[in-house]
Amino acid sequence: MKMEFDLRLQQTQKLIMTPELKQAIEILQLNSLELNALIERELETNPLLEKEEAGEEEDIYDLYELSKYIREVEEKSYYDDFDDEEMDEINYENFVSSKPSLLDHLMFQLHITPISPKMQKICEYIIFSLSPTGYLKEDVEEIANSLECSIDEVLEGLAIVQSFDPPGIGARNLQECLKLQLMAEDNYKGLIKEFVDYHLNEIAEGKYSYLAKLYNVSLKEVQAAVDVIKRLNPKPGSSFSSTADVKYIVPDVQVVKRNGEYFVIVNDSLLPRLKINNYYQAILKSHDEEAKKYVSSKLQSAIWLIKGLESRRETLYKVVKAIVEIQKDFFERGVSYLKPMTQKQIADMVGIHESTVSRAINGKYVDTPRGLFKIKFFFQSGISNKNGSEFSAETIKNLIKKLIEEEDPKSPLSDQKIADILKEKNINISRRTVAKYREECNIPSTIKRRRY
């Protein structure tokens, strides 16, 4: 057997992920709060980086052309120059005083309740064991073991806590929660009592005819009892504030309207402006090779960070600007005019890869004259009609909601009937898609919407 060896040259293309590219991708994906945390970490670990103080006139590293952003600075001045008439349009109802927490509310009631110190300790333990929605998840026996007291004493303490406001607090399950609320209003009797004790599943499934036959009553009587149960609060603690539930959303981009035109402003107010510390540049001219190597690596890292920040800013600006161009009808006329849009469309308009668009909008919010939205909200699938017009999923959901709001409650619209009505409006949609959109809007099925 003869073996042959030959040498061939072959050209191939490979994407090399440099450290600079990796950092740029990471920066692009971060929202404003995450990016601020990253910058603070870099400022702590890189002595060549420092914040540019307000009013400072020292030269900073010239890593980008300021001319690119002159227009954005002008847009910012537009935003800052709103007149008094426009400021009067601010809805001051959005500024509300904070509510007391559930814990504060219950502890106040406990302190004015005349009970023994031992019972007060048991009640305190129970109150501190409640979930944010107001349920007691810890077992009574476990509480008794922890406090070295009897189960009867724990049950007595639980009864005291369950007598507090709001009604239903301290329940161990949904059934007990509803029962406590009904007892507080003297309504735990008759059909209502029977339904809460034995038929919550049937009520959830809308089996009113079955219940009417089972108890030999009219559908109207079943409906009346169910209405009383449905107006009860299944999460009595949820109406109270909790610092753990507070989430702060800082918009990464703003869209503002001025003189009939929409302007895009990248919100970098939280981010410090960075500059290179000139003191360390002198070390690069020294003869200490170890020091020069260290400073050189830190200088490179600082330059990459500043370039990455500017690249993120420019990409985010271009992406949102393209979104505004496509979705101008939404900004002018509302959510019913939201158009179907894909990330590929925006990528083609901006001249970047689709994956870059995905990273740029990831977890970020935009503040608009129509409200605060996730940027991903604007990327909607859609349906085309015979005339070539396109309707976004959100637009169709709004139409479905409107049809259901206007339906006869005694004869609610079926999913097929809704599909037929939409087809008459030149929106070609299947019954399955109607059901899917209805469920996404948390609208119950026909049988559960029917009134007797």
pLDDT for the residue 63: 37
> Is the predicted pLDDT of residue 93 greater than 90, yes or no?
no
Per the model's pLDDT, the better-predicted residue between 335 and 110 turns out to be: 110
Structure tokens at 283: 């070390």
Domain 381-449 adopts which CATH fold?
Arc Repressor Mutant, subunit A (1.10.10)
> Is the predicted pLDDT of residue 309 greater than 80, yes or no?
yes
CA distance 201 to 433: 27
Give the mean pLDDT of 384-389. 64
> Is the predicted pLDDT of residue 241 greater than 80, yes or no?
no
DSSP code string of 273-314: PEEE-GGGGGGGGSS-HHHHHHHHHHHHHHHHHHHHHHHHHH
> Is the predicted pLDDT of residue 2 greater than 60, yes or no?
no
pLDDT digits (tens, 9 = 90+) for 167-183: 999 999 999 999 999 99
pLDDT for the residue 176: 95
Give the mean pLDDT of 187-209. 92
DSSP code string of 401-413: HHHHHTS-TTSPP
- Predicted TM-score (pTM) of the model is 0.60
Query: Would you place residue 196 in the very low, low, confident or very high pLDDT band (cuts 50, 70, 90)?
Result: very high
Query: Would you place residue 53 in the very low, low, confident or very high pLDDT band (cuts 50, 70, 90)?
Result: low
Adjacent-strand bridge partners of 266? 253
Say if residue 174 is exposed, middle or buried (CB neighbours under 10 Å; 0-12, 13-18, 19+). Answer: middle
Look-up of token digits 């009067």: 88
Percent of the chain with pLDDT over 90: 44
pLDDT for the residue 113: 92
Per the model's pLDDT, the better-predicted residue between 261 and 17 turns out to be: 261
Average pLDDT of the chain, as a whole number: 82
Give the mean pLDDT of 73-97. 43
> Is the predicted pLDDT of residue 442 greater than 70, yes or no?
yes
> Is the predicted pLDDT of residue 97 greater than 60, yes or no?
no
pLDDT for the residue 80: 44
**Domain residue ranges in the chain:** 20-52+64-77+249-377, 102-230, 381-449
CA distance 447 to 423: 23
Query: Would you place residue 96 in the very low, low, confident or very high pLDDT band (cuts 50, 70, 90)?
Result: very low
Q: By mean pLDDT, which of 31-35, 161-165, 239-243, 324-328 is the weakest?
A: 239-243
CA distance 420 to 144: 61
Give the mean pLDDT of 429-442. 89
* Alpha-helical regions (H) of 391-445: 393-405, 415-424, 431-440
> Is the predicted pLDDT of residue 33 greater than 70, yes or no?
yes
pLDDT for the residue 394: 84
Q: By mean pLDDT, which of 74-83, 325-334, 337-346 is the weakest?
A: 74-83
Q: By mean pLDDT, which of 88-97, 384-393, 412-421 is the weakest?
A: 88-97
pLDDT for the residue 122: 94
Query: Would you place residue 296 in the very low, low, confident or very high pLDDT band (cuts 50, 70, 90)?
Result: confident
pLDDT for the residue 425: 84
Cβ pair 154, 122 in contact under 8 A: yes
Pairing of strands 253-258, 365-368: parallel
pLDDT for the residue 268: 79
Look-up of token digits 């709103």: 82
pLDDT for the residue 121: 94
Query: Would you place residue 302 in the very low, low, confident or very high pLDDT band (cuts 50, 70, 90)?
Result: confident
**CATH class held by domain 102-230:** mainly alpha
